Structure 1
Amino acid sequence: MTDRFWETKSLDEMTQTEWESLCDGCAKCCLHKFIDDDAADAPATTNYVQQSEEIHFTSIACDLLNTKTCSCTQYARRTELVPDCVKLTKDNLKEIFFMPTSCSYRRLHEGRGLPSWHPLLNRGKKTAMHREGMSVRGKTVAEADADLDNFEEYIALWPLQDLD
């Protein structure tokens, strides 16, 4: 894809192929996350982050993630194999509050455009993204190897925010 369709089309106007190509492949969505709420009466599940809450990404990656390529080894079946896996769609994008601020879908939804390291701006290659430290490559522990009873010890300290 050589045309810059993301600059001329809304997310709703994009074809499925265009939609899929927006994913930068950082794999941050494949990380376990938790909400720090400090409130004893906080709900067990939530559909939004309250003002007193903060989302923490951990370095614990889904066992289906290939951490070298930052891609799912079972992409077509991921929601079947991992019931908590959320398939990002045009319809649910507004409700998925836990996507990192660097997520290309979130950036476009918020009117911020694609980051300079995005593969669509770099001949389809993830090299710039990895070089800038915006992917999870080399920063994770497999879910099967993590001590999930002490997940707070895995809070990600590497860049989750936008670089540009």
Structure 2
Amino acid sequence: MTDQASRPFWQRKNLEEMTRSEWESLCDGCGRCCLNKLIDDNTNEIHTVAIACKLLDLDTGRCCNYKHRRKFVPDCIMFTPKTLHEHLRWLPDSCAYRLLYDGFDLPDWHPLITGDPNSVHESGFSIKDKGMVSEEDVTDPADWFDYIIRVG
């Protein structure tokens, strides 16, 4: 039987009980939430495109100006424990916030499990080396449809 206190914080606490530092550490740095999305007007379905926010560093999967991102990208969604349920559909299935919210544990490749911030890249769950482009390089929104990521 495992002592509750010896379990990692994400297994002991719900999302709203976490400190800001714990909350922020859940981000694995995959960069997938920073890929732009298109919404189908007829079905309300969200399509992720291989076009990243202009602030996303395509090599690291991290925001280049995380603290002040909303100043430069006003529609950037800020995920918090209190608002997460409103924004779940924007997060990839592998996102720690989404997994924990839905009652699952972190995946084996998550940096909090491995102790290695590169494990998300090595596992193939990040945007790194996947041919993503910056929104600054695709300036005509009509061209975004050519970048829809098809699964399957």
Q: Counterpart of 2:46? A: 55
Q: Counterpart of 2:83? A: 92
Cα displacement (A) at 1:80: 1.4
Classify the secondary structure of the residue corresponding to 2:38.
strand
Describe the superposition over 1:35-73 as per-residue Cα deviations: whole angstroms up to 9, x where unpaired.
Answer: 224x2xxxxxxxxxxxx4422111100111111111111
Aligned residue pairs, count? 144
Classify the secondary structure of the residue corresponding to 1:60.
strand
Match of 1:150 among 119, 134, 143: 143
Q: Counterpart of 1:162? A: none
Q: Distance in 1 between matches of 2:66 and 2:108?
A: 26
After the TM superposition, which parts of structure 1 deviate over 2 Å for at least 4 consecutive aligned residues? none
Residues 1:66 and 2:57 aligned together: yes
Q: Counterpart of 2:3? A: none
Cα displacement (A) at 1:133: 1.4
For 1:130, give the aligned amino acid.
H
Q: Matched residues, percent identical? A: 45
Cα displacement (A) at 1:106: 0.5
Cα displacement (A) at 1:144: 0.9
Q: Distance in 2 between matches of 1:114 and 1:53?
A: 29
Unaligned runs of 5+ in 1: 40-51, 160-164
1:9-158 equivalent positions in 2, closer than 5 A: 9-37=13-41, 39=42, 52-96=43-87, 97-123=89-115, 125-139=116-130, 140-146=132-138, 147-157=140-150
By percentage of residues, which structure has more helix?
2
Alpha carbon RMSD of aligned pairs, Å?
Answer: 1.8
For 2:97, give the aligned amino acid.
Y
For 2:21, give the aligned amino acid.
T
Q: Distance in 1 between matches of 2:120 and 2:150?
A: 17
Unaligned runs of 5+ in 2: 1-5
Describe the superposition over 1:69-118 as per-residue Cα deviations: whole angstroms up to 9, x where unpaired.
Answer: 11111110001110010111011100002211111100000001111110
Match of 1:8 among 8, 12, 15: 12
**What's the TM-score once normalised by structure 1's chain length?**
0.81
For 2:133, give the aligned amino acid.
V
For 1:119, give the aligned amino acid.
P
